[in-house]
Structure 1
Amino acid sequence: MVPTNPSARILIVDDTPENLAVLGDVLQPDYTVQATTSGERALAIAAGQPAPDLVLLDIMMPGMDGYTVLTRLRDNPLTRDIPVIFLTALDDTRDEEHGLALGAADYIAKPIRPALVLARVRTQLDVKRARDALRDHNAFLESEVARRMADNEHIQAVSIRALAHLAETRDPETGNHILRTQAYVAHLANALRTHPRFAQTLTPRYITLLTRSAPLHDIGKVGIPDHILLKPGKLDADEWRIMQTHAALGASAIEQAEADVSEALPFLSLAKEIARHHHERWDGTGYPDGLAGDAIPASARLMALADVFDALIHARVYKPALPVETARDIITAGRGSHFDPAVVDCFLTDFPAFVEIARRYRDAD
């Protein structure tokens, strides 16, 4: 009969050279055979390359018996999946049950019967080949899923950035504002992830989604008329009321996008709460909903500070840029009124990092 896998490697372990010779004569016409009389040597061969596809293992050996060898094989990640057929002259079913419980694939009783050996070997090699094929197929599927998820996340990131730049075209003086605020928020989130008030929220996955969603915080500005959005100088009361609507407009636009997809997307939910609530104030005097304290989503509390700091240190149509030290003092003064005290404390502790982010993403001259 033609062997199932003529390239298969079989390791025979038996302390009796005569038994090795008999089994070698039976198997060598069809398979590549290695043989040893030592359990220790068997372990070394099995862990080497190329590894055997199957081990025929004698139970009763001096020094290290077959049960110990099998246990060691199963304990080693390099050898745990190699099938083992026990060779034994023992006829007690309890010995067979013990070996199977340790992970043996099959038993062959001595004296050796060549036809039975070939049949048992062929069966175990077929099983191993099928298992290896399934493992490789599963590995391919996992790789493909990971690749497609990476593609989807890249598409999401590009789409978000494109939408953010669309809003930026209405307010051209903001320059790299979306890059800077994104980096500020990411830094704050990572620094606060072990803070008692933030630890439950700021998981690694949440921080990833938050960082991805942050550029959409001002998407609602596309709905603000140019004569208000680009007005040099201070807005009057009516103009200010219209300007304030950009928070709700942005949240509404993202909510409509959510309604167009078949399942909820967490990054859109975060983008929506950032857009709506990043102008709320810790003391409840912000807009659009007058939320206060921890009722303001954590994402919006981080963005509130990031947005104000960046606006202070860069020129706008209605004001010049302020020195970073002046901006720091203004934010410090807003601790507990405008901003979450813990977020301000984090900002002050890591202030040089925020200055470096501003430098790294500075607007082109």
Structure 2
Amino acid sequence: MALVDLPDIQFVEQDVDKVFLELVDVFQGITGRTLNRADPEMIVLRAFALLFMQQRVLINQVAKGELLRYARGVILDYLGEPNTPRLQAEPAVTTERFTLSIPLVTPQVIPAGTRIAPDGGEGTIMFATRGAVTIPAGHTTTDVPIECLTPGVIGNGFLPGQLTTLIDPLPFVASVTNLTTTAGGADMEDDESYRQRIRMAPESFSTAGPEQGYIYWAKTASAAIVDVAAISETPGVVTILPLLEGGVIPTQEILDAVAEKVNARKIRPLTDHVIVQAPETVPYDIELTYYINRERAAESAVIQDAVNKAVESYALWQKSKLGRHINPSELISKIMNAGALRVEVVSPVYTPITDLQVAQDANINVTFGGLADD
């Protein structure tokens, strides 16, 4: 039976009237009395029935919490503990270029833990070099992997050229700058993502040969990865395409982490050649006009705000999965559910997307057309 076909489960019955009647039968059997509806004992038994009912609800909640579909928090951690621990928060990463003022006759060491901050960041967010590197004699630059000192999404999104403040001064270092946008930072894996990965865990037992096996192992590389495609268009060649939370395209650092994971000797089949690459982006515009029912004029401001949030929700939904076709029907549905009377969509139009691609919103232009009649 498919997972979606499984019925909801109750370990103990939750019918307060049945519990009440059972208590009445027990009382009458013990005392030998027949209770009437107006007897004060009936009120006491009804109170006990409600108390027992609360206990049954709690029993059901606790028992269902032991099942993968319903488990949350620490119980879910225990279910995944044998082979699939929850992914912890991870720092954002990028590549930082250190530039010397002049070529030196001796090597210049950049120590591990050298801290860098964004210009004007006032020290609230800092990055540090992962390891020590050396600028050879006669050279003036070196590129160093750095990571945010605060794990989580807080370190994501710094554009190239924004990490330019050297917190720990070094002799002869004239400037520092990041070469790529910081990415890969992720908060602790949430329950739904973790639940899905536990469900996929058996695919890992046959190494990464099957499609789902590659997807499972690729997702373990970073908690920021929300979707993975594993495609083999040529025998023996497998292409892995990860996608990050929020539809973010993975940086080279994330691609390298995935490649290292799926190419491990105990994971990759010996005959497979695995390529890890970023998905191709398919840009699209959102241009539409919507109208609100004249009878709901008093709610106009609230509905307009809800429509704007619906458009944002659609854009996020559209770019959060590889191969998700650009579907204007989903956009219209979200806007109508937000309270609009009518929607006129100029773009996007329905566009098929392959598993190698992800749709990305480029320009968004949402116009309120005013009030209208049915």
Could you tell me the TM-score, scaled by structure 1's length? 0.23
Higher share of residues assigned strand = 2
Specify the structure having the higher radius of gyration (Cα): 1
Q: More helix by proportion, 1 or 2?
A: 1
**TM-score, with structure 2 as normaliser:** 0.23
